[in-house]
Structure 1
Amino acid sequence: MTKQGNEPIETKLITVFDDLSSELMLCIFEYLSAVDRYKSFFGCNTRLSQLVKRWTLYSRKQLDADIERFSTLHSWYKHLEFIDGGTKFIIFPQKGEQPRNSIHLSITDTAGLHWFFLQIYDQSIIADERVRKILVRHSFRLNPFFYHKEMHSSSSLKIDGKQSSRTFYGGHIISMDRYRESFEPWIRSNYPEYADRILNNSSWSPCNIDEACAPIFELEWLKAVRVIRDAAHQIWDELKQFEDINPFEI
């Protein structure tokens, strides 16, 4: 079929995404992961970028899974501090799970939305100063009790003639002399009701010390999860305020 003068009539066969209504775009989003939404549409134009930012959320369930995974990714009961309330960290979204290290990755998902943790002194890795300021503003502290590996034999342990609750690995190491200078004032200030039992344990077995520390592990875990959730929420919302920042390319 031709126009007058035998010029071909160009038939439009491809629908441009920008011609679709916002409602239809949101229907398309339902079939895409958060990472794929940003990869496919962020940066195309202002409208599509704003749609992606406004309607893309992170999974709180996945955040909790990343927190739990990170809690045993390293032996934090040996590597974190009690001084000043703990070692300071920042958190930020990324594509794929955080590797254990450059040699042993220990990852199972390389494509999904996950959260990375960095100690504050590594903040220079974040190239964009605007992003770095947001992350530092919502930094938080973690101490050795953040390590969250439950001991499977805990159900058989007893203390003071009572059946124990869950027990976590690392309590006997945390209470060793290496930590005593900073650990004693920390626990007496934060958990005075447990301090004497844990500190006066020279004749105890490691299992009994671990069990005495169990309530501290439980309570510190709840605190850590709450503060990390709050930090992630604030960071995600504040990153959305920048039109040119893709949270998966930080």
Structure 2
Amino acid sequence: MRQPPTDVLSRRVQLWPRLAFTCLATCFLVGSISGLACSKQDAPGEPPTAPSAEKATPAEPPPGHGAAKTQAPPTPAPAAVPEGATSLGGLIVEAPSGWIAEPVSSSMRRGQWKIKDDAGEAELVVYYFGQAGAGTVERNLERWYGQFQQADGKPTREVAEVGEKTVAGMKVTRVSVGGRYVAAVRPGAAEKHDVPDARMLAAIVEAPDGAYYFKMVGTAATVEAAASGFDAMLASMRTPG
């Protein structure tokens, strides 16, 4: 048998890799097209469009979830205090000119003033102990009497001047008493005041939100001179609003 020339065999050998590559590429292309067709056929449809927030939100809360929450109403602003007046919380008062307003020194005090003149000085404090107060009127009067001693040894209640009146619909019990002032410097303290010639003007005001206790103590002449101002302050009392 005649053998093909050497150059022809060489060319055939060179063609085999190209032919094999072409066959592989064709198979790959056909497979890709078939897979794409199958995947497109098997793919699920487009997901449904989600409802808008407006449609999804119910007009009322679902059963069992209670009513829709509402914001608490804002806290009302405190009642306006006229110029020259002082708010004690549930009371508004006007202090006489010349009385020196001071920062309160405890949470039980709602107001505090210093009164000075040539004879000496006095201090007025307004106490408030909440709605329940600090006991009956008579109990507080007795406690105040116990803070004074009389030179002749008489019980202080026998020389005290007590009166009642009504101001702006509120009952006011007023007391005036003098003597040696020997009250404790502060509640429960062993140290005591010792003012030989002292006087006290006090009042218990039964206000809608509880009792207010006005207590002025100082040099007898200074307190006596301030009595008209004290009474004017009580007369000026009113509740806010």
Superposition TM-score tier, normalisation by shorter sequence: under 0.3
| Structure with greater helix share of residues | 1
In the superposition, the TM-score normalised over structure 2's length comes to: 0.22
| Structure with greater strand share of residues | 2
- Structure with larger Rg: 2
User: Relative contact order (alpha carbons < 8 A, sep ≥ 6): 1 or 2 greater?
Assistant: 1
